[in-house]
Structure 1
Amino acid sequence: MKKAFVLSLGLLALTACQQPATPDTPDTPLVRTVDFTGLDGKLSLRPGKSGKLSLDAEPEYIAVSGDSRTAYVTLQESNALATVEIASGKVKQVAGLGLKDHSKPGNGLDASDKDGKNIRTWPVFGTYMPDAVAAFEVGGQTYLITANEGDTRDYDGFSDEVRVNKLKLDAAAFPNAAELQKDAALGRLTVSRVDADTDGDGDADRLVAFGARSASIWRASDLSLLSDTGDLFERKVAELAPASFNSDGTAASFDTRSDNKGPEPEGVTVGMVGGKTFAFVGLERAGGLMVLDVSNPAAPAYADYVNFLGSSTDPKSGEAGDLAPEGVLFIPAADSPNGEPLLVASHEVSGSVTVYAVGAGGKLTRTGRYQAAPFLFDEGVAEISAYDKASKQLFVVNGHTGGVDLLSLADPARPALVKSVDLSVYGAGANSVAVSGGVIAVAVEAKTKTDAGRVVFLNADGTVRGQPVPVGALPDMLTFTPDGQHLLVAGEGEPSDDYSVDPAGTVSIINVSKALAPR
């Protein structure tokens, strides 16, 4: 991997994790907005159309340290991680994540959708470009694990995507260009246009694919790479679910995603079972859940892979099983309705919510499943879930209705719909949900996605609790700090399709007690 570029702000000898926390005071604002304008012109990451980090950075996902002091934010399209000090609302560190070398043994990939299962090394780099991130501690040290999806900037007004066979390859870098650009080799692989030409002479000096098709573990102290799963995910899917290898989750779409991000890891969460730490990674395209033992963060080990597929090869039939896990949620035994650790996966394409028991060694056993009815294919009916242990309910974002569905999890074998909450009065629709101490927070994007969004707070029965709180444009993932005092919201700030409007990416820090108080 090429060396990551890191910029630290403030005292170089003092990281955000070590900064003393400043308690909230009556003067602490309801919302503090963190942006990246202070880094414009000072730090170069993967550029978008604007070339300004403040606009190009699109905060995607947030994890929080166990002491509630530090937030870790994925800037997916920029291929970066950021550290934010919650007490001060300051960006303390930004790290470009560098590149994964797919020419090295163990880092192979299947680069063509015209060659069946063919995982091998190629002269290609990969951008990690993580979506979800989770924080965990081992031996008193904090680590981050990322699901390296590789989302692109692909709009009518700007696209960073191009196939290898459409590029002019530098003759010195690629003396065998004609062979590499064949369909069964690298010709159909989707790569980054903006990362290709390193010397400005108009040809491609390197090939950089989107996403690393893996999960990576990073040191929280300096955001440096500790370990990566290499080509494990592709190899395990090829071995254990060969009919749906690099597909959209069905045999009918076999190998169709090899030229574009492969299994596409998207969601990740972490939990303790039997004294060991496990990571659970959702594979958005191939489907299913990959389980890793990360008790030794330097050497994540395969533990299990499950993929519930139905009897039908037609995904629109409603009988094809679980398609496209978007959110993964771990419920520890102490909070679980049946006293056993559970994993909940929400599937945006199949509209299903599936509950697994987590056994010894991280093994998953399907316990129960909720299928939204009527069946709606690829309408985002079940996207992100959050769990309230007091009411034993799941709160599930429904992208079709734009609201939130409440499911009873009192009996994990039979998740059941309790009610649906309509949030249309607050904007275009809900994007994410989080729960802490019986308080439910929902991120709602504006009817025009480039406008400021809102966070709506609910009670456990789905009734609205207090006034909505304004946040940045296109609020996506949100999370409470472990102490419940703050809510952090990733404002993705995605541009309009024609790129005429490009809002800044933001992280909003909401004071929860003030948000719930009358105002």
Structure 2
Amino acid sequence: MKKLLPAALALSALLTACPRTTPPIVEPPADIPLVRTLDFTGFDGKVTLRTGGSKKLSLDAEPEYIAVSADGKTAYVTLQESNGVATVDIAGGVISAVTSLGLKDHSLPGNGLDASDRDGAGGKGAINIQNWPVKGAYMPDSIASISVGGKTYLLTANEGDGRDYKGFADEVRVKDLKLDPTAFPNAADLQKDAALGRLTVSSVDADTDGDGDADVLVAFGARSMTVWDSDMKRVADTGDLFGQKTAQISPTTFNSNGSADTFDTRSDNKGAEPEGVTTGVLGGKTFAFVGMERASGVAVLDVSNPAAPAWVDYAHFQPDPAAAPDSAAAGDLGPEGLLFIPAADSSGAQPLLVVSNEVSGSVTLYGVATDGKLTLKGRYQFPNAYSLSAAEISAYDKASKKLFVVNGQSKGLSVLDISMPSAPRLAGQIDLSKYGAGANSVAVHNGVVAVAVEAAVKTDPGKVALLNTDGSERAPAITVGALPDMLTFTPDGQFIVVANEGEPNDDYTIDPAGSVSIINVGKALNP
């Protein structure tokens, strides 16, 4: 295991800095088992979603991210590669619905996209947002829940993600397809590099009538944030707003990997890639914060009227857009996890937005004004961390004012003290090697730190480690499904919901079922 810290800042330092405390006892709900792991076999052949090499929903669903309703009764789990969402009755322990999210039409006004990285002079890139005969599969990564007017709405960050394994891949460029002459009478023009030729689309979804040619072009991701109601019916979509705004605000890094030298290189493949989304309520208004994985900025939207999301602000810490990506001047690259901390829980009596940036290996704190606008407060840069996933997902313990950060470089958790938001400092590191190969997600509730840890062989069942805030074990780890990804507590802390992605191995000879685990916290802490 790689060490990010000098010996003085290892786990022993963490134990000194964080006195051990015992979390409050949570009474287990009666007659509910310690853990229930739910699969999708009951939906095989009954729900039409995108599938992979197995051609079975139960194996290809790949649960990714979770939002829980304000009343704690329902979880909504994104099935990213399958372009769907599962609705889970938490207390009942059942998947009550699986919904296909359908397709976005990029030929409609307001739904344009820049589809090529070679549409400028001399075959180079250019900003060129326009309508095309292309559909977009939403394929959300992150999902968040809000309550407006007594109704639950879901917000999705529509990143898009294809399946790319040695044994199965579903990505292809438009120029490598045979286009149906009826659907695309101008196929020769569309397949030029400056048009749609270089756009990455789905090979699985292209041939709808089985005659060997492409009848529809389905791109990965919708390059937007979408609002859905609790039945997963679309309420609103931001269309091409993210593309238009980033083109205006940061044109030198438009559809890039966050730096000027990669300008427009992502136009042919998912654009700015909205990946993370979280929400906060300020001054009676509800705001959404959306992280752009490739553009590396954070957009703020007012979603107080769910049917009409309104642009508020955009922030990207970047001292020098022309700097080398692995230099300090490049700033934040690759926001992965976003976390809103209300004023009542933060230091300094101001709400904070925490952004964990996996490519730059930095954690950045923004102050959030009552109008939703962001002001840089503080930042911690992990050393020698470029492109090593040193800062992925963060969770906050309001009692100790500490962030627990999933660190893919060390395979454990790094702990940051943010009691002074202007000067976050490293407080220690937690070794998770006894539980598996590395952490994928972390959540904190009332002093209990829950960590999703994948197995040494990713197709084997993973574990959820239950720790105290000092890094010591609070209770024995719980076995869940294969490749546990995101996990979260219900608002009352009674349950932990875990999305077990269940990815296949590279040659597709082993393909574990995707699943959702529900852990009874009371029984876990008080066996």
Short-chain TM bin: over 0.9
Per-residue deviation at 1:310?
2.7
Q: Secondary structure at the match of 2:378?
A: strand
* CA drift at 1:24: 5.8
Q: Which residue number in structure 1 is paired with residue 451 of structure 2?
A: 442
Kindly provide the amino acid, as one letter, of the partner of residue 171 in structure 1: P
**Equivalent of residue 363 in structure 1, options 373, 377, 385:** 373
Q: Superposition pairs for residues 47-446 of structure 1, below 5 Å?
A: 47-115=51-119, 116-220=126-230, 222-311=231-320, 313-373=323-383, 375-446=384-455
Distance, in Å, in 2 between the alignment partners of 1:513 and 1:303 is 41
Aligned AA (2:68):
V
Q: Given that residues 48 and 56 in structure 1 are in contact (C-alpha distance below 8 angstroms), is that contact kept between their aligned partners in structure 2?
A: yes
Deviation for aligned residue 1:318: 3.3
> Secondary structure at 2:473's aligned position in 1?
coil
Deviates more, 1:103-112 or 1:458-467: 458-467
TM superposition shift of 1:317: 2.2
Secondary structure of 2:371 counterpart: helix
Distance 1:30 1:119, change over 3 A: same
Counterpart of 1:240, as a letter, is I
Shift of 1:61: 0.4
Ranges of 4+ aligned residues in structure 1 off by more than 6 Å: none
Deviation for aligned residue 1:41: 1.4
Offset from partner CA, 1:327-362 (integer Å, 9 cap, x none) = 000001111121111100000000000000001321
Q: In 2, are the aligned partners of 1:241 and 1:307 still within 8 Å (CA)?
A: no
In structure 2, the residue matched to 1:41 is: 45
Structure 2: distance between partners of 1:310 and 1:192: 37
Q: Which whole-Å CA distance do the structure 2 matches of 1:242 and 1:313 have between them?
A: 15
User: 1: CA distance between counterparts of 2:462 and 2:83?
Assistant: 24
Distance in 2 of aligned mates of 1:340 and 1:307? 20
1:472-487 to 2 correspondences below 5 Å: 472-487=481-496
Find the aligned partners of 2:394 and 2:58 in 1 and give their Cα distance: 30
* Corresponding residue for residue 474 of structure 2: 465
Separation (CA, whole Å) in 2 of partners of 1:27 and 1:307? 49
Q: Which amino acid aligns with 1:329?
A: L
**AA partner of residue 287 (structure 1):** S
**Distance in 2 between the 1:318 and 1:193 partners?**
40
What is the TM-score when the length of structure 1 is the normalising length? 0.94
8 A contact 2:28–2:494 mirrored in 1 = no
Aligned to 1:14: none
Residue-pair matches, total: 494
Q: How far apart are the structure 2 equivalents of 1:176 and 1:25?
A: 62
User: Which piece of structure 1 moves more, 26-35 or 364-373?
Assistant: 26-35
The one-letter amino acid of 1:54's match is: S
- Checking the alignment, whether the CA contact within 8 Å between 1:358 and 1:364 is kept in structure 2 is yes
Which residue identity is paired with 2:45?
G
Any idea what the Cα deviations from partners look like across 1:391-426, whole Å, max 9, x if unmatched? 000000000111001100100000100000011121
What is the SS of the residue equivalent to 2:481?
strand
Cα distance in 1 for partners of 2:179, 2:66 equals: 38
The answer to which of 306-315 and 138-147 deviates more is 306-315
The aligned counterpart of 1:29 is 33
User: Is 1:406–1:462's contact at 8 Å kept on the other side of the alignment?
Assistant: no
Unaligned runs of 5+ in 1: 1-22
When structure 1 is superposed on structure 2, of 301-310 and 378-387 the one drifting more is 301-310
Correspondence for 1:510: 519
Q: Measure, in 2, the Cα distance between the counterparts of 1:145 and 1:203.
A: 35
Task: Note the C-alpha offset of 1:313.
Answer: 2.1
Greater relative contact order (Cα < 8 A, sep 6+): 2
- TM-score, normalising length from structure 2? 0.93
d(CA) in 1 for partners of 2:433 and 2:293? 27
Determine the C-alpha separation between the residues in 2 that align with 1:237 and 1:296.
Answer: 23
SS at match of 2:156: strand
> Any conservation in 2 of the 1:475–1:492 contact (CA below 8 Å)?
yes
Note if contact 2:28-2:523 (Cα within 8 Å) is conserved in structure 1. Answer: no
1:77 is paired with a residue of what secondary structure? helix
Q: Which runs of 5+ in 2 are unaligned?
A: 1-26, 120-125
Deviation, structure 1 residue 319: 2.6
